[in-house]
A and B are shown apart, each in its own frame.
Chain A
Amino acid sequence: MSELLSNIAECIEFGKINKVAPFPPQMKGQDGADELTRQALDEGISAQRILTEGLMVGMEKVGIKFRENKVFVPQVLMSAKAMSTAMIHLKPFFLSGEVKEKGTFIIGTVEGDLHDIGKNLVSMMVEGNGWKVVDLGTDVKAEQFVSAIKEHQNAFVGLSALLTTTMVSMEKITKAIKEAIPEAKVAVGGAPVTDDFRKKIGADVYSPDPQGLVEYLNAQVA
């Protein structure tokens, strides 16, 4: 039983989606996240356990490997794809309330910026760690962030930017959020962002990689 969970974790870690998926070559022909999650549910393992002892374990391993430059964007996207395939089976249990989410994380790429790779990576990692993610997309204005936070009480919010030119927008949005909801916790990230910049604009947390954000979020609700 626990072997099944660790196999699921492995599928997530290496991005094995289903049996027919050619990637990764060393797992060719084996069951993927899709089949194994189904099997686990059929064997009566709770959705909560599949999430925390299978999927989250795999996602965390990818997060750490990504932080350590052992894997790169393509591999993480494969893991995320395996993850979301498994999540389809778990969705009903989320909806019924049987699986508890740790909290809500609102994310978006800031106004003027259309890049979404970084934002998507973060949102998958956070989701893969048992959080509900509200993805506002790209080119998101301050008002959209503010109304999303008002809608989802106690949600954390993440701002993403890739361009140096849109870092200015990040500052504007952070200030608008803090003004409207002073207790809101704002995380910032993206290629040009640094912790110095985070301090300058008054945001609460910066992480150079998604795993760092996940650790921060988990610590807030622990």
Chain B
Amino acid sequence: MKGLELIKKAFALQPVERVPWVPFVGVHGGFLTGTDAETYLKSSGEIVKGISKAVEEYNPDGIPVVFDLQVEAEVLDCKLRWSESGPPAVVSHPLAEGKKRSDLKIPGAGDGRIPVCLEATKILREKYPDIALYGLITGPFTLALHLLGTDIFMKLFEAPEEVNEVMEFCTQVGQKMAEYYMDAGCDVIAVVDPMTSQIDPVTFENFVTPFVSRIFEDIRIKGKLSSFFVCGHAQQNIEAMCNCRPDNVSIDENIPLDFVKEITLEKGISFGGNLKLTVVLLMGSADDCREHTLECLDLGGKTGFILAPGCDLPRETPLKNLKAVTALIHDPYQQDVVRTLEKKESTLEIFNMKDYGQAEKVIVDIITLDSESCAPCQYMVEAVKRVAPHFDGVVEWREHAIKKMEAVSFMSSLMVKNIPTICIDGKIAFVSQIPPEKELVAAIQKRINEKLKLKIRSKRSEFILLGEEESQCRELQERAMRALTELGKDVEIKVVAGREKLASYGVTQTPAAVAVSYKIKSEGSLPSVEVIREWLKEL
């Protein structure tokens, strides 16, 4: 199950097999298609292109059509300043600059950029019937702030009636916008009201709750889903937000996910968030993103949780980072790997492996999560298991399941990063992909040949003849020379005479012959205990 159905299930607080994923792609959509923020937000065609690209890359269950909290303000005569890399900013506040509340009219579906948003919604609806489309509207308090400027904060105390009047108007705007988006095909209406993070719960209950609740009620009557987005330090207001009866509350990294989880679930409301936008998604590595995503998944759990960035994705968020999040969320097995590694990496002991794989036999190591529970691991182990007997005892294989601490150390020592991986004599040979039998055989054979070559080069042997006197060995020496000639071998024959020397060879009766073969095991280095142990096994 995926997309809309999965989101509906999560909103209904039914347990899901996989947590739904909603990347908040705003002007980042333009980044994906090489379009600047202004061009992007002014063209339904560009929005459709950007979101389509995001759908293709990030395989989302839900996605916002447009993330721009200035659409309504622009229609209501706020001046905007456009930027290449972010959504526009409101630079003038009409109600603080002489306009009267009665001068402002509820925006129509054809005003300003509203048709751009609705057109994009319709096209995307048709194109992606199974993905939950989010219509984002500016929350009434944030819109009121756009209209009044920061004066609104003092007017809360000094002119509460005026604030109420503006809030009433902004609520009607929100209701209308929600209606437009629902009619155009959105499944979820998100009321985005970040400025509420700046007020205390009592002020919230007095000035926000009575208004915003009406928007959520409208959405419920229409049979659609609603979400209440807030960003910033809004921890104090989460409970008050729930009391406005949205279906979902979505927050950013400023609020701990488990805190929100506890409050929302108790109120029977689903919750979402809160991937860190800057330090992880924008500035972190793909590995950081995987680790952090997992942290969110583990905290959020599989009931009533939707994974999403804390807010609008910064435009230049690297594609590879969001793809890492996408891959992880769709792959429970990768989650296990990251989870296991994360726990154990800190207490790791690294072996010195530079001499690993010098033993007579070829050693094939398979690094797995655990072949019993992880399918790709199992197939990889089986592939090796099938091939090994062909080599008739020359090849030895071992599985290292990283659920054990030593295996994690072993894995890190061999610099293995992915699971499963096959190493041949300590060298990474196959990563993640299960090799076809032929390739695996060829790779092992190659290593056997290498070792054979080395063996021929490094072997030095002596044939030692022992006697009490040299003359005693003469006959033996002649026979040995004859044998060497017949074999075509290059072995040095040495005669050792003298009773006192016999004992050191363990010889008691003469004449005697001892064959000695030397083999270089290491040169100019200090092999580890593990490595020496492997060599000793050959003796």
Contact = CB atoms under 8 A, between A and B. Distances in A.
Contact of A77 (B83, B89, B153): B153
Contact of A192 (B81, B235, B278, B315): B278
A23 B85 contact: no
B298 interface: no
A22 B199 contact: no
A205 interface: no
B273 to A, nearest CB: 16
Interface in A73-99: 73-75, 77-78, 81
B199 A72 contact: yes
Interface residues of B, number: 28
B442 interface: no
A23 B198 contact: no
Q: Among B154, B199, B277, find the residue whose CB has the most chain A CB atoms closer than 10 A.
A: B154
A180 interface: no
A117 B198 contact: yes
B10 to A, nearest CB: 27
B314 A116 contact: no
A74 B156 contact: yes
A165 B86 contact: yes
B198 A114 contact: no
B85 A165 contact: yes
B314 A22 contact: no
B203 interface: yes
A86 to B, nearest CB: 16
Interface string A123-167: 000000000000000000000000000000000000000011111
A72 B236 CA distance: 10
B154 A165 contact: no
Nearest to B157: A23
B83 A74 contact: no
- Interface size on A, as a range, is 20 to 34
Contacts of B282: 164
Contacts of A73: 153, 198-199
A165 B315 contact: yes
Interface in A13-28: 15, 21-24
Contacts of B315: 165
A165 B83 CA distance: 10
A40 to B, nearest CB: 25
Interface in B76-123: 81, 83, 85-86, 89-91
B198 A72 contact: yes
Contacts of B86: 112, 163, 165-166
Given A77-B150, A117-B150, A164-B282, A71 B200 contact: yes
Interface of chain A: mostly helix, strand, loop or mixed: loop
Interface in A42-92: 69, 71-75, 77-78, 81
A139 to B, nearest CB: 8
Contacts of A166: 86
Q: Among A15, A22, A23, A77, find the residue whose CB has the most chain B CB atoms closer than 10 A.
A: A77
Contacts of A22: 157-158
A73 B150 CA distance: 10
B154 A77 contact: yes
A117 B145 CA distance: 11
B232 interface: yes
A192 B198 contact: no
A72 B203 contact: yes
Interface in B170-212: 198-200, 203
B278 A75 contact: no
Nearest to A113: B89
Nearest to A112: B83
A197 B279 contact: yes
B200 A75 contact: yes
A133 B85 CA distance: 31
A183 interface: no
Given A23-B158, A74-B153, A112-B83, A164 B232 contact: no
Nearest to B198: A73
Q: Among A74, A114, A120, A196, find the residue whose CB has the most chain B CB atoms closer than 10 A.
A: A74
Given A72-B198, A73-B199, A165-B314, A81 B89 contact: no
A194 interface: yes
Contacts of B81: 114
A167 B278 CA distance: 9
A122 to B, nearest CB: 14
B89 A74 contact: no
Interface string B20-53: 0000000000000000000000000000000000
Interface in A181-202: 191-192, 194, 196-197
B457 to A, nearest CB: 53
Given A22-B157, A22-B158, A116-B150, A74 B314 contact: no
Contacts of A78: 154, 157
Nearest to A193: B278
A114 B91 contact: yes
Contacts of B277: 164, 192
Given A69-B233, A165-B315, A191-B254, 18 more contacts: A15-B157, A21-B158, A69-B236, A71-B200, A72-B200, A73-B153, A74-B157, A77-B150, A81-B154, A114-B81, A114-B91, A115-B89, A116-B150, A117-B198, A164-B278, A164-B282, A166-B86, A167-B278
27 contacts: A22-B157, A69-B235, A69-B236, A72-B198, A72-B200, A72-B236, A73-B153, A73-B199, A74-B153, A74-B154, A74-B156, A74-B157, A77-B150, A77-B153, A78-B154, A112-B86, A114-B90, A114-B91, A115-B89, A117-B198, A163-B86, A164-B277, A165-B83, A191-B232, A192-B277, A192-B278, A194-B279
For the complex of A and B, list the 3 residue pairs with the smallest distance between their C-beta atoms, beginning with the closest.
Answer: A23-B157, A73-B198, A74-B153
Interface of A: 15, 21-24, 69, 71-75, 77-78, 81, 112-117, 120, 163-167, 191-192, 194, 196-197
